[in-house]
């Protein structure tokens, strides 16, 4: 690895950002850094690596006990990524690409966590993080142009830059159902799963939630539980994953071709290798359409999304595809009443994150698995013994919550982030999350987000977005150092223009037509609206690159002052 860009020069400068200083007063010792990184998932780990290679003094904080982000927490049975493993991995290190070998097309959580551990160990990244630590506040110090950061362990740090690599899905959400704290059986949360194995054998188990997480849990726990009760409110569309082991010949070819494959991924709308179509749904005959959908169903994964170009813009085309999936439910599920209840209706397919399964619908043919349709029979309360719906109480030994996340904005709103003039992110986002390029907010100098709201997060490969965002931030920091600049932030006009673009593009897609975490519909009192850039990852990259090339268009800088008081 190359020595860092700033390393030698700054190491000689005692007043350089990054030098430890002792300050007199209330806080006896304040650690002075260049960058505080929050989160040790894909974004945070890469940020630590990249900034260290630049010679920056960094400190990372992570609430979990180790690296991995969502894959550290989500240890529930059946947890698995829904993108091909070879796509869902870092591209920044050819060494890692060559040394790591994926075993399955869609890796399960233990393998994903092993990957994180491998990367962290191989690049010696753990030393930059303090684990089991939550940042509780980050406050901008206008006079000294730096962030003061506090943690729940009582630390106080000062840093020129803050990078919030907090991820779009890191604040799990309990259901708003009365009585949850009364339940005396074993309560399990998908997003905070125990580290030791959980046995369901002979147990009466309930699962609330049938998004990606609930579906993965149901098909796995259904095999083991004595009785499984699935409490379903909105049914999801799910398609066959068709997971398979990766053959060594194929892997060897992948390893030979990684650079080209990554370039294709970076140039695509989804930041991945999934083929996309330019064909409009009604441009081919009904028989051809049917054949294309059948082929995609057989191929598995998200192939269905790549069958036609207009599935997310043409409601009629979308409904045809939805009906195709409903017909598949009829083919698999033997009981017609259950089949009917499992069929999603009233929102476009793919407007909620499409789920991938291996035996979800088949699970309902098992005599021990019971679907509770909460539209017909809503939950009234959780009792000491189980779940009471309108029709009666279901007694349960274990209750699993797979009820989703306060997505995109939850993590940054969970602690106090205070920018210029005492303005908080809560204030700034009162009417909905705002940002410029999904990366920065007006009034919050030197504070960056990776995979932030109003970027393409959730709609494209999160690893590609994370790498892109960290590289861009690294470029900004290098530029500022060279130019002697102290602060960067977006102008209000640039932020407004970006938000107008995000809104205009969102009106062209059907993504706004379902009640999902994408639009904030799953969190009470959350401002509603699609805070995602729907123009595609390739366009997002182009727009970011153009802004940088154009002299950091849309950003305002301030020069370093002569003397900085300590």
Distance, CA of 32 to CA of 495 (rounded, Å): 30
Q: Please report how close the Cβ of residue 458 comes to ligand NA7 at its closest, in angstroms.
A: 6
DSSP letter assigned to residue 185: S
Give the nearer residue to ligand NA7 in terms of CB position, either 234 or 307.
234
Could you give the strand order of the β-sheet that contains 392-395, starting from the edge strand earlier in sequence? Answer: 379-382, 386-389, 392-395
Give the nearer residue to ligand NA7 in terms of CB position, either 369 or 374.
374
Q: How far apart are the first and last CA of the chain?
A: 34
Quote the tokens at residue 349: 């397919």
Give the nearer residue to ligand NA7 in terms of CB position, either 169 or 342.
169
Is residue 403 close enough to count as binding ligand NA7 by CB under 6 A? yes
Give the nearer residue to ligand NA7 in terms of CB position, either 231 or 436.
231
Among 374, 499, 511, 523, binds ligand NA7 (CB under 6 A): 374
Give the nearer residue to ligand NA7 in terms of CB position, either 129 or 405.
405
Q: Please report how close the Cβ of residue 475 comes to ligand NA7 at its closest, in angstroms.
A: 29
Q: Please report how close the Cβ of residue 82 comes to ligand NA7 at its closest, in angstroms.
A: 7
Quote the tokens at residue 282: 């009604």
Q: Please report how close the Cβ of residue 236 comes to ligand NA7 at its closest, in angstroms.
A: 7
Segment contacting ligand NA7 by CB under 6 A, of 335-343, 396-404, 496-504, 541-549: 396-404
Give the 3-state secondary structure percentages of the chain, helix then strand then coil, rounded to 5: 35, 20, 45
Q: Which of residues 354-373 bind ligand NA7 (CB under 6 A)?
A: none
Question: How big is the chain by its Cα radius of gyration, in Å?
Answer: 24
- Return the H-helix or E-strand segment holding 215: helix 212-224
Residue nearest to ligand NA7 (CB): 211
Quote the tokens at residue 49: 């690596």
Distance, CA of 170 to CA of 162 (rounded, Å): 18
Is residue 177 close enough to count as binding ligand NA7 by CB under 6 A? yes
Segment contacting ligand NA7 by CB under 6 A, of 22-30, 171-179, 327-335, 444-452: 171-179
Among 517, 540, 552, 555, binds ligand NA7 (CB under 6 A): 517
Segment contacting ligand NA7 by CB under 6 A, of 38-46, 227-235, 279-287, 477-485: 227-235
Among 105, 210, 358, 512, binds ligand NA7 (CB under 6 A): 210
Give the nearer residue to ligand NA7 in terms of CB position, either 176 or 315.
176
Q: Please report how close the Cβ of residue 376 comes to ligand NA7 at its closest, in angstroms.
A: 13
DSSP line for 238-302: EEE----BPPHHHHHHHHHHHHHHHHHHHTSTTSSS-------GGGS-HHHHHHHHHHHHHH-TT
Give the nearer residue to ligand NA7 in terms of CB position, either 41 or 214.
214
Is residue 353 close enough to count as binding ligand NA7 by CB under 6 A? yes
Q: Please report how close the Cβ of residue 201 comes to ligand NA7 at its closest, in angstroms.
A: 25
Give the nearer residue to ligand NA7 in terms of CB position, either 363 or 522.
522
Distance, CA of 476 to CA of 129 (rounded, Å): 23
Is residue 509 close enough to count as binding ligand NA7 by CB under 6 A? no
Q: Please report how close the Cβ of residue 231 comes to ligand NA7 at its closest, in angstroms.
A: 6
Q: Please report how close the Cβ of residue 213 comes to ligand NA7 at its closest, in angstroms.
A: 3
Would strands 31-38 and 204-208 be described as parallel, antiparallel, or unpaired? Answer: unpaired
Is residue 522 close enough to count as binding ligand NA7 by CB under 6 A? yes
Distance, CA of 157 to CA of 150 (rounded, Å): 6
Among 64, 211, 410, 445, binds ligand NA7 (CB under 6 A): 211
What angle, 0 to 180 degrees and rounded to 10, lies between the N-to-C axes of helices 315-332 and 286-299?
A: 60
Residues sharing a CB contact under 8 Å with residue 504, sequence separation 6 or more, in sequence order? none
Site string for ligand NA7, 229-258 (x = CB under 6 A): --x-xx------------------------
Is residue 377 close enough to count as binding ligand NA7 by CB under 6 A? no
Distance, CA of 183 to CA of 34 (rounded, Å): 47
Segment contacting ligand NA7 by CB under 6 A, of 58-66, 175-183, 390-398, 425-433: 175-183
Give the nearer residue to ligand NA7 in terms of CB position, either 160 or 170.
170
HEC per residue, 377-422: CCEEEECCCEEEECCEEEECCEEEECCCECCCCHHHHCCEEECHHH
Distance, CA of 478 to CA of 458 (rounded, Å): 29
Is residue 19 within 8 A of residue 41, CB to CB? The reply is no
Give the nearer residue to ligand NA7 in terms of CB position, either 43 or 60.
43
Largest CA distance in the chain: 78
How many positions of this chain bind ligand NA7 (CB under 6 A)?
A: 23
433-454 CB burial, b ≥16 within 10 A, e <16: bbbbbbbbbbbbbbbbbbbbbb
Q: C-alpha angle 96/170/78, rounded to 5°?
A: 70
Give the nearer residue to ligand NA7 in terms of CB position, either 109 or 148.
109
Segment contacting ligand NA7 by CB under 6 A, of 123-131, 245-253, 301-309, 400-408: 400-408
Residues that bind ligand NA7 (CB under 6 A): 169, 175-177, 208-214, 231, 233-234, 353, 374, 379, 402-405, 517, 522
């Amino acid at each position: 690895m190359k020595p860092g860009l700033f390393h030698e020069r700054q190491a000689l400068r005692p007043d350089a950002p990054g030098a430890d200083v002792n300050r007199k007063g209330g806080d006896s010792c304040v650690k002075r850094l260049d960058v505080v990184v929050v989160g040790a998932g894909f974004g945070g780990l890469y940020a630590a690596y990249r900034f260290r290679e630049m010679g920056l003094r960094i400190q990372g904080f992570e609430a979990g006990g180790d690296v991995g982000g969502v894959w550290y927490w989500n240890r529930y049975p059946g947890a698995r990524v829904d993108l091909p493993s070879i796509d869902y991995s870092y591209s920044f290190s050819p060494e890692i690409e060559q040394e790591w070998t994926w075993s399955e097309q869609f890796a399960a959580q233990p393998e994903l966590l092993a990957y994180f551990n491998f990367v962290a160990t191989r690049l010696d990244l753990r030393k930059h993080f303090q684990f089991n630590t939550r940042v509780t506040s980050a406050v901008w110090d206008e006079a000294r142009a730096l962030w003061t950061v506090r943690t729940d362990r009582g630390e106080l740090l000062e840093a020129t830059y803050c990078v919030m690599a907090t991820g779009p899905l890191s604040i799990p959400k309990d259901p708003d159902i009365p009585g949850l704290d009364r339940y005396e059986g074993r309560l399990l949360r998908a997003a905070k799963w125990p580290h030791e194995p959980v046995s369901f054998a002979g147990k009466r188990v309930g699962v609330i939630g049938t998004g990606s997480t609930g579906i993965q849990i149901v098909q796995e726990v259904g095999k083991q539980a004595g009785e499984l009760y699935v409490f379903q409110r909105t049914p999801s569309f799910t398609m066959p994953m068709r997971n398979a082991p990766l053959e060594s010949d194929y892997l060897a070819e992948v390893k030979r071709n990684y650079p080209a494959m990554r370039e294709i991924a970076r140039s695509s709308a989804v930041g991945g290798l999934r083929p996309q179509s330019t064909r409009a749904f009604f441009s081919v005959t009904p028989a051809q359409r049917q054949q294309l959908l059948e082929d995609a169903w057989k191929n598995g994964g998200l192939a269905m999304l790549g069958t036609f170009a207009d599935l997310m813009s043409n409601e009629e085309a979308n409904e045809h595809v939805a009906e195709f999936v409903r017909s598949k439910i009829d083919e698999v599920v033997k009981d017609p009443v259950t089949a009917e209840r499992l069929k999603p209706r009233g929102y476009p397919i793919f407007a909620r994150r499409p789920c991938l399964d291996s035996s979800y619908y088949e699970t309902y043919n098992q005599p021990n698995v019971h679907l509770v349709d909460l539209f017909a029979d809503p939950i009234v309360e959780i009792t000491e013994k189980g779940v009471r719906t309108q029709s009666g109480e279901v007694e349960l030994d274990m209750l699993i919550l797979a009820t989703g996340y306060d997505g995109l904005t939850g993590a940054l709103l969970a602690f106090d982030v205070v920018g210029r003039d005492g303005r908080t992110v809560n204030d700034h986002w009162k009417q909905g999350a705002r940002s410029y390029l999904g990366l920065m907010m007006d009034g919050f100098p030197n504070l960056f987000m990776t995979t932030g709201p109003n970027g393409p997060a959730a709609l494209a490969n999160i690893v590609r977005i994370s790498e892109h965002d960290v590289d861009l931030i690294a470029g900004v920091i290098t530029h500022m150092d060279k130019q002697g600049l102290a602060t960067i932030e977006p102008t209000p006009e640039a932020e407004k223009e970006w938000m107008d673009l995000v809104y205009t593009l969102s009106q062209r897609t059907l993504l706004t037509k379902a009640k999902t975490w994408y639009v904030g519909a799953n969190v009470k009192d959350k401002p509603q609206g699609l805070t995602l850039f729907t123009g595609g990852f390739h366009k997002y990259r182009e727009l970011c690159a153009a802004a940088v090339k154009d002299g950091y268009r849309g950003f305002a800088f301030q020069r370093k002052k002569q003397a900085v008081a300590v």
